[in-house]
Structure 1
């Protein structure tokens, strides 16, 4: 049955990459929060028959919702922007989702702010809707208890967790549950340049799937011990290396996490490191896995820095791979007044 296939895609598996480094590998990570959010909404009476699901997405959370709604029979309207991958859009529409594209970037919030406004407009025109609100719904990080349980059962104590950050759900949720067994767990967040998540100014980002133009409420900065910023070339090169060395055919969000996690594991051979790999590589066959495309876009795989440059403040992390000791502080402790400067606008 279709539902059985979706269930199989939702559960990750664990792979050993080195003596002390493992990866938790998802076929489609966003199925975990999508399933959890929709199930809880049904149990609470907010997602009955005839209710339309409306959400903003430019990535795989939309695909996860489309798969879940195809099973349940709920109408699904997804609001995205021109950055959405054409192949992904076709997959969404083949599953029955209606995709609405916004074309204007809002000052201080980019496409994301425009998309959120459009979601509200659509909801106002429909008699009954439910918005999963992946960026603020606590069921998003709450869904990753399953992943934490799986890791603990298979590996025992985890000393370091490394993952890319977008909505904040996977890293904050998995970290929170793993720290119930090991409060000293080191959590390392991977962001990209010109993302507001960890105190930088919003701007154009080539690397997609991580970073954000708005601060999601599900992002708990106090969970993180370190933050790394990577550019597209580093992430793309690491993605190809992950495939060549471990036959894991993943996307660049996974490559970015692998770059940081494998580095940290080498520096800490006595610690057990787990890297979150959230996305498969099939959407990137014509880009990241195409040498001609990489060369044409100035991201030709080659020798890249073997270690990050240390920075003291987020604004100093420019272009190259950079690392900062975050020390489980709030954003305002690291960048005083950041919230007042429009990071949430």
Structure 2
């Protein structure tokens, strides 16, 4: 057993990169402690280099999840003020951690008619920035430094594994999958990208609606999501994602969150279908925020998310268009096409707000 003697300047540096863990004969997990630390760190560093962060600049962002935590960790170490605009979906444990790190957290109580809570948060974000004399917004949904930050992950995967034939990962802002796959394709253009989404997410053509699976999917179209990167899209239910989160823990002792479970569900299936090809699944964050939910059988049962043996899918159902994806694990061959070139996608109406806050 080898023991690392490396020391780090901060906890964020120590947790920046994933650990590569073998999950099967041809399947590897890139397991992050907190994936969003990578873009948060990179975005703030590039902003400082460009002179966008003065001594009194307040960092302001909209988030209800781990990007806010990553920013709070970085700004606490940098001794910078941080304002986060969120919504009622933020869990109490995360809220307490954010405020303990010194962040000011504002909650938008009501969703917007179009775009839901994410649009309401964007409107409040604009108002907060107008009230403060000097702000910087990382804009994770539209800042190209988000996907650029994952170039180091692509290099890590290539150095450790050689040729990576397929990358599977959950999609929210589009940064991790687009950035990692673009980096790999500089040397292996054949590398496949399989995005994992949730039902009633607009990202890959379904109509917006309530989603029990948090951390994947979106109510708005992020500018950083390059649809032409993706070869396939899979949609899975919350129950399937939660069950495979628990399976990832029980089988591999990997204590990850539910987006990791969703990715693992798809990646394990793909690896089994292609035993002579190497697959990597991105596992975004650890499971501590979900101990009272995903890791609690009583909560799963009470909320209708306890997956029975009869309810388990042997594999995905292939559909002919995104609007045909039923309420089960389904897949669609996206074929590296632009959004508007894929039949069966919900139209992006003129005036619909994107996740960068401008009309599409």
Q: Is the 8 A contact 2:263 2:283 kept in 1?
A: yes
Q: Is the 8 A contact 1:33 1:140 kept in 2?
A: yes
d(CA) in 1 for partners of 2:16 and 2:97?
17
Matches within 5 A, 1:30-109: 30-109=36-115
- In structure 2, the partner of 1:182 is 188
TM-score under structure 1 length normalisation: 0.98
1:158-202 Cα offsets, whole Å, 9 max, x none, are 000000000000000000000011000110000000000001110
The CA deviation at 1:343 is: 6.7
1:260 aligns with 2:266: yes
- In structure 2, the partner of 1:325 is 333
Matches within 5 A, 1:156-235: 156-235=162-241
Change (3 A) 1:14 1:202: same
- In structure 2, the partner of 1:299 is 305
The CA deviation at 1:278 is: 0.3
The CA deviation at 1:4 is: 1.9
Runs of 4+ in 1 over 6 A off after TM superposition: none
d(CA) in 1 for partners of 2:122 and 2:263?
28
Q: Is the 8 A contact 1:238 1:259 kept in 2?
A: yes
d(CA) in 1 for partners of 2:125 and 2:19?
34
Change (3 A) 1:343 1:41: closer
Change (3 A) 1:157 1:96: same
Q: Is the 8 A contact 1:237 1:302 kept in 2?
A: no
Q: Give the one of 316, 321, 324 matched to 1:308.
A: 316
TM-score under structure 2 length normalisation: 0.94
Of 302-311 and 20-29, the range deviating more from structure 2: 302-311
d(CA) in 2 for partners of 1:191 and 1:105?
21
- In structure 2, the partner of 1:339 is 348
Q: Is the 8 A contact 2:323 2:346 kept in 1?
A: no
Length, aligned pairs only: 345
Change (3 A) 1:74 1:343: closer
CA RMSD after TM alignment: 1.3
The CA deviation at 1:107 is: 1.8
d(CA) in 1 for partners of 2:171 and 2:136?
25
- Structure 1 alignment gaps of length 5 or more: none
The CA deviation at 1:49 is: 0.6
- Structure 2 alignment gaps of length 5 or more: 1-6
The CA deviation at 1:13 is: 1.0
Matches within 5 A, 1:118-137: 118-137=124-143
The CA deviation at 1:108 is: 2.0
1:150 aligns with 2:187: no
- Indicate the SS of the match to 1:222: helix
d(CA) in 1 for partners of 2:115 and 2:321?
22
d(CA) in 2 for partners of 1:93 and 1:2?
25
